[in-house]
Structure 1
Amino acid sequence: MTDGNDIPTTELRRTDRLLLRPPTMEDLQFLTELFARPELVAHRPVPRPDSPEESAARLAKDMAHWQQHSFGRFAVIANGELIGFGGVTVSNEFEGLNLSYHLDPRSWGHGYATELVRGILTFAFEELGARRIIGLVRPANPASRRVLEKCGFGFEGQVMLHGAPTNLYSLLS
């Protein structure tokens, strides 16, 4: 069964206000614009926007994760508009699934991040059988820290990630 866009409806997820679906190549333009926004990349070790090629590689990696694992980062839609990406992926560096999300700054302040994270946690624990989920947040990003704390994550400690201090949060099933 599909939703008319060749996306199996079994891969669609909904929260109260959000539709979550696997990413597609049609998302590339939005993703490129999203990762070109200075306020989105401000918390990276090197706070520069992605090049179009880096965005294309990011999307290809996300789509490959879906192909390999049948889950990953979702495209996030609110009010019929793509507003970002978020989900859980297999972590090669830490025990547990890695939660990440990137929302268009124009959608910040509406509670979408918290709603997205709660929906992803339900999916990961109930449908994927996850036992541990981690969230990695730069110390200079208090908004993301607050989202994780509201959703029940606890601080574990600081790690070095891509050459920069990063706070590691976790949540157990």
Structure 2
Amino acid sequence: MAPDDPVDVPARTARLVLAPPRHEDLEDVFALYSDPAVWEHLPSGRHTDRTRTALLLQRIRDSWDAIGLGSWVARLAEGPDAGRLVGTGGCDLRMGVTWNLSYRLHRRDWGHGYAGELAAAATAAAHRVRPDIPVTAYLLEHNTRSAAAAERAGLHLTWRGSDAGNPDPGAVRLLYADRPLSRIVVEVLTAS
């Protein structure tokens, strides 16, 4: 599929409005990514300045422009809090070999099924855009909520090992996928 072909990606789930990030989302996304409560599984990932968040949003926007899919900004669709940022998530192309399913939600929104809703929409979109590319989720073993969301999205554990580059030498990564992965793809994804 050419990057300029229209892609039928969901703009809405049952409770969320999903949209590619815009410059106007910077403050809301920075508030999310700078909150230590959402980084309890990887404190070193926390954003401490807006420049890092702006670069993240630009990379996501570039993905949308280049291949027609990337992560979304997820906001409540209805009710008194309509428009409030719930989080970010979706599928981004990882190292050119897999879709990386991710989701980061405000702590107040944990436990309401939003991650599962977002993951299901993202997986479906990735299968529509490039069904030949596997969908994966790369997460820390102690992040059981994230693992549960990946499993609900139809992914299965395919690899467990040391988390290369993590400041915690005892950290263990899990790699989930929607299909079997070649040894080479696993090595590419887990070596960095």
Instruction: Compute the TM-score of the two structures, normalised by the length of structure 1.
Output: 0.84
Aligned residues with identical type, % of pairs = 28
Corresponding residue for residue 124 of structure 2? 122
Residue 19 of structure 1 corresponds to 17
CA shift, 1:116, in A, is 0.9
List runs of 5+ in structure 1 lacking aligned partners.
1-7
Kindly provide the CA deviation profile for residues 10-60 of structure 1, in whole angstroms up to 9, marking residues without a partner as x. 665221111111110000001111011111112226254432221111111
Q: Does 1:34 find its partner at 2:32?
A: yes
Contact persistence 1:157–1:167 (CA under 8 A): yes
Contact 1:88 1:124 in 2 (8 A): yes
Give the CA deviation at 1:171.
Answer: 0.6
Partner Cα separation in structure 1 for residue 140 and residue 178 of structure 2: 18
Q: Which structure 2 residue ranges, 5 or more long, are not aligned?
A: 1-5, 181-192
Aligned to 1:84: 87
Alignment of 1:1-173 (within 5 A): 13-44=11-42, 46=44, 48-78=46-76, 79=78, 80=82, 81-92=84-95, 95-159=97-161, 160-163=163-166, 164-172=171-179
Question: Are the counterparts in 2 of residues 42 and 48 from structure 1 also a CA contact under 8 Å?
Answer: no
Structure 1 residues 84, 130: CA separation in 2 closer, same or farther (over 3 Å shift)?
Answer: farther
Cα shift readout 1:46-80 (whole Å, capped 9, x = no counterpart): 25443222111111111122122221001111132
1:134-167 per-residue CA deviation (whole Å, 9 max, x = no partner) reads 0011112111011111222111112434335311
How far is the alpha carbon of 1:123 from its aligned partner? 1.4
What is the DSSP-based 3-state SS (H/G/I as helix, E as strand, rest coil) of the residue aligned with 2:149? Answer: helix
C-alpha RMSD of the superposition: 2.3
Q: Quote the residue 1:4 is aligned against.
A: none
**Deviation, structure 1 residue 86:** 0.8
Q: State how far apart, in whole Å, the 2-side matches of 1:89 and 1:128 are.
A: 11
Residue by residue over 1:95-132, the C-alpha shift from the partner in whole angstroms, topping out at 9 and shown as x without a partner, is 32111111111111111111111111111113432441
More strand as a share of residues: 1
Give yes or no for contact 2:63–2:70 (8 Å, CA) kept in 1: yes
Q: Distance in 1 between matches of 2:37 and 2:130?
A: 32
CA displacement at 1:133 relative to structure 2: 0.3
The 3 A distance-change label for structure 1 pair 125 and 47 is: closer
